């Protein structure tokens, strides 16, 4: 880089010198309006007007006898005597004798200056031409290196990330730890007849630590580590990607044992022949070269390929077979133990207050990825700094979670008292129905403060990380999702657009119950609709109908029945507990936000409860996705995550 700057500086300096020399050569011999030819000078000598003539090589400086008259310049013919020229022009000797002649001796500096003025521009322009040729050669060499690999090589001497910086993915760390041991102590495995794995494919949702784990492998392995992205390989010119892959593996073989990391391999490893208009020659040639390099004729090299993707479904089957990617490491969203470890990693070196409970935070961040948890700590620190605090408190971190889930508070939003009342009863309906149904998640927080696109929200507390959802729990969530609309119907005899997001969520959930989970008694334990992914057609055309129109009508009927049943259930609960609904809504209009203890206190005021009524919710449980309060004046608000995501 420094040599390039130095080279460019020289070029700029030569350009400046060339321009200066050209300007000097133009203006070095000043021209005046008093320049005369020799005939005029001869006439002036005959008239006795000339006092002195100074001869400087071929230049003549003429001084007149009249002091007020300006000097003039003239020029004699080179190589010819000035006196002989005047005789030919008819100037008598007595007139010449009246003029004083002075010959100025030539200066060595003037000769060198004349030479420099003549030669210097040629030298400078020659130098510029030389640098232009060299630059063209450099561009040509860059063009020749177009097919070279752009992978970045790390030696591992100064690791920035190690396995200690990766938490919540113990199984994945174990798999990659063995890869590191393969490279460090190959004899330990070769003595038992084990073969070094050719490749490791890391699969998982975005933000779960795939690239971070690869960086940790780079820091732990102690061998050369080549890192490249899939998009850096593919070019618009056919054959360039394959050339770069060859060059990458050639470099790796020269530095073996080593590791090659390809991030976002789906950019180059897509299924071949899947396009509508035929194949993509460049991508397919690049993929073919990767396949050959990973398991071709030369298979005795200690080069391990690690790749990362969040779209394993679109990768070519030849890339996934044993012998190429022998291991598939899945990095899923962490459970609460993993979330606690991740929070501990990101909380290192940060001034946390004594009231911060990372275990409670881990339980209140169900569904968060590692990147989300890092963002929680960072947003908490930003909120604490905004309030000029010296430490990060639990309240800051709780507010950060709500901000990440729903967006920042919009306390400046001006709404009418009527709209505020509607939002309060809407959120009270969600909370009341959730509290009265045993299968529903406990209420953690209710608020009518606008956040993001929601006019209010209700947060729930699942008992634990949940991978299986029962039919009764689904029906409870449907009823909870319709609690806000049911409250509006009963209290105001009208409905608003505030439930649009709720309706979207429960409709999607009810259809999944019928078509994916077999929870319809009429249709039975069947699934409807193929989920075959059409790679280049997008998600809108990914589901193929494999059932008749008659079955489609039955599906619609069953979905409608589920939603209507949940609606009637929510209406009945609110009618039976109308006093509690009003109490919750009034408290919300007064205080704007109710936490779990304040909400439970409303029901604790009445010792006798209905049969089957759950005990009041307690704080410290995990927060589920927030619920469905929406902007009451928004015709199409964003769908809130008011119900736990459906399991895959």
Is residue 26 predicted with pLDDT exceeding 70?
Answer: no
Is residue 145 predicted with pLDDT exceeding 70?
Answer: no
Average pLDDT over residues 494-513: 91
The Cα–Cα gap between 159 and 212 comes to: 12
Strand partners, 307: 201, 262
Please report the pLDDT score of residue 53 as a whole number: 81
Average pLDDT over residues 622-640: 34
Q: What percent of the chain has pLDDT over 70?
A: 75
Q: Which H/E stretch holds residue 343? A: helix 336-346
Q: Which option is the CATH number for 417-604: 1.10.3720.10, 1.20.58.760, 3.40.50.1100, 3.90.850.10?
A: 1.20.58.760
Categorize the per-residue pLDDT at 604 as very low, low, confident or very high, splitting at 50, 70 and 90: confident
The Cα–Cα gap between 115 and 111 comes to: 6
**Which range has highest mean pLDDT (3-7, 107-111, 465-469, 482-486)?**
482-486
Strands 199-203, 59-64: pairing is: unpaired
For residues 509 and 87, which has the higher predicted lDDT (pLDDT)? Answer: 509
Q: How far is CA 422 from CA 496, 607, 626, in A?
A: 9, 29, 18
Sign of CA dihedral 135, 140, 141, 147: positive
Please report the pLDDT score of residue 169 as a whole number: 81
Average pLDDT over residues 250-271: 85
Contact between 228 and 149 under an 8 Å Cβ cutoff? The reply is yes
Is residue 37 predicted with pLDDT exceeding 70?
Answer: yes
Please report the pLDDT score of residue 558 as a whole number: 94
Of 269, 312, 262, give the one whose Cα is nearest residue 288: 269
CATH topology for 336-406? Answer: Helicase, Ruva Protein; domain 3 (1.10.8)
Is residue 191 predicted with pLDDT exceeding 80?
Answer: yes
Is residue 616 predicted with pLDDT exceeding 50?
Answer: no
Instruction: Kindly state which CATH superfamily the domain 152-326 is placed in.
Output: P-loop containing nucleotide triphosphate hydrolases (3.40.50.300)
Q: How far is CA 471 from CA 435, 503, 517, 563, 631, in A?
A: 18, 19, 9, 13, 30
Of 448, 443, 419, 418, give the one whose Cα is nearest residue 432: 443
Q: For the chain, what is the mean pLDDT?
A: 77
Please report the pLDDT score of residue 57 as a whole number: 73
Is residue 289 predicted with pLDDT exceeding 70?
Answer: yes
Please report the pLDDT score of residue 373 as a whole number: 92
The 3-state secondary structure of 67-125, one letter per residue: CCCCCEEEECCCCCCHHHHHHHCCCCHHHHHCCEEEECCCCHHHHHHHHHHHHHHHHHH
Is residue 110 predicted with pLDDT exceeding 70?
Answer: no
> What region, left, alpha or beta, does residue 209 occupy, with left being phi > 0 and alpha being psi -120 to 50 degrees?
left
Least confident of 142-146, 523-527, 565-569: 142-146
User: What tens digit of pLDDT does each residue of 358-399 get?
Assistant: 988 888 888 888 889 999 999 999 999 999 999 999 999 988
Q: What is the reported pTM?
A: 0.65
Has domain 31-105 been given CATH number 3.30.720.210? yes
Least confident of 127-131, 155-159, 251-255: 155-159
Contact between 25 and 117 under an 8 Å Cβ cutoff? The reply is yes
**Which residues are catalytically annotated?**
427
For residues 105 and 443, which has the higher predicted lDDT (pLDDT)? Answer: 443
Please report the pLDDT score of residue 623 as a whole number: 30
**Domain residue limits, the chain:** 31-105, 152-326, 336-406, 417-604
For residues 173 and 9, which has the higher predicted lDDT (pLDDT)? Answer: 173
User: What tens digit of pLDDT does each residue of 438-492 get?
Assistant: 999 889 889 888 887 777 888 887 877 777 889 999 999 999 999 999 999 999 9
Is residue 574 predicted with pLDDT exceeding 80?
Answer: yes
Please report the pLDDT score of residue 609 as a whole number: 38
């Amino acid at each position: 880089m420094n040599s390039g700057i130095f080279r460019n500086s020289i070029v700029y300096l030569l350009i400046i010198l060339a321009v200066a020399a050209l300007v000097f050569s133009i203006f070095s011999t000043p021209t005046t309006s008093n320049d005369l030819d020799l005939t005029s000078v001869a006439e002036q000598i005959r008239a006795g007007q000339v006092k002195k003539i100074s001869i400087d090589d071929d230049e003549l400086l003429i001084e007149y006898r009249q002091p007020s008259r300006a000097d003039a310049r003239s020029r004699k013919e080179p190589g010819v005597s000035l006196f002989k020229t005047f005789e030919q022009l008819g100037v008598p000797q007595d007139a010449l004798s009246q003029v004083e002649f002075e010959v100025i001796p030539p200066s060595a500096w003037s000769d060198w200056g004349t030479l420099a003025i003549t030669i210097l521009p040629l030298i400078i322009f020659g130098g510029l031409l030389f640098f232009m040729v060299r630059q063209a050669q450099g561009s040509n060499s860059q063009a020749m290196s177009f097919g070279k690999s752009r992978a970045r090589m790390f030696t591992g001497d100064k690791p920035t990330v190690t396995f200690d910086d990766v938490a919540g993915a113990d199984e994945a760390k174990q798999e990659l730890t063995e890869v590191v041991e393969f490279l460090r102590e190959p004899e330990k495995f070769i003595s038992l007849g084990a073969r070094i794995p050719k490749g490791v494919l890391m699969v998982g949702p975005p933000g779960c630590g795939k690239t971070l784990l690869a960086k940790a492998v780079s820091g732990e392995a102690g061998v050369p580590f080549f890192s490249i992205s899939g998009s850096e390989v593919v070019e618009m010119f056919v054959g360039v990607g394959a050339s770069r892959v060859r060059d990458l593996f050639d470099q790796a073989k020269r530095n073996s044992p080593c590791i090659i990391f390809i991030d976002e391999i789906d950019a180059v490893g897509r299924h071949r022949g899947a396009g509508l208009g035929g194949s993509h020659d460049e991508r397919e040639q690049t993929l073919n070269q990767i396949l050959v390099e990973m398991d071709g004729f030369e298979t005795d090299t200690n080069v391990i390929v690690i790749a990362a993707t969040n779209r394993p479904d679109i990768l070519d089957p030849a890339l996934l077979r044993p012998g190429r990617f022998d291991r598939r490491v899945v990095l899923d969203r962490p459970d609460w133990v993993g979330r606690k470890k991740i929070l501990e990693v990101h909380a290192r070196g940060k001034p946390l207050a004594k009231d911060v409970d990372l275990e409670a935070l881990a339980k209140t961040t169900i569904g968060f990825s590692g990147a989300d948890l890092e963002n929680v700590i960072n947003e908490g620190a930003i909120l604490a700094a905004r309030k000029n605090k010296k430490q990060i408190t639990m309240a800051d971190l709780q507010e950060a979670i709500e901000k990440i889930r729903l967006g920042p508070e919009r306390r400046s939003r001006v709404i009418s008292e009527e709209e505020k009342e509607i939002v309060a009863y809407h959120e009270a309906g969600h909370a009341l129905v959730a509290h009265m149904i045993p299968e529903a998640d406990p209420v953690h927080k209710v608020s009518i403060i606008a956040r993001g696109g929601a006019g209010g929200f209700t947060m729930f507390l699942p008992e634990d990380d949940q991978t299986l959802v029962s039919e009764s729990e689904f029906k409870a969530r449907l009823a909870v999702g319709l609690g806000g609309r049911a409250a509006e119907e009963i209290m105001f005899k009208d409905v608003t657009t505030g439930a649009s997001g709720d309706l979207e969520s429960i409709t999607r959930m009810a259809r999944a119950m019928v078509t994916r989970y077999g929870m319809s008694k009429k249709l039975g334990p069947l699934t409807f609709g193929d989920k075959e992914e059409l790679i280049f057609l997008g998600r809108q055309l990914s589901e193929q109908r494999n059932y008749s129109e008659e079955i489609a009508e039955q599906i619609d009927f069953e979905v409608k029945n589920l939603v209507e049943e949940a609606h009637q259930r929510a209406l009945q609960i609110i009618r039976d507990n109308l006093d509690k609904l009003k109490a919750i809504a009034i408290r919300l209009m007064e205080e704007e936000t109710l936490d779990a203890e304040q909400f439970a206190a409303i029901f604790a005021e009445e010792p006798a409860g209905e049969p089957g009524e759950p005990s009041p919710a307690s704080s410290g449980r995990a927060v589920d996705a927030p619920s469905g309060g929406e902007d009451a004046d928004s015709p199409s608000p964003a769908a809130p995550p008011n119900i736990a995501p459906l399991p895959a």
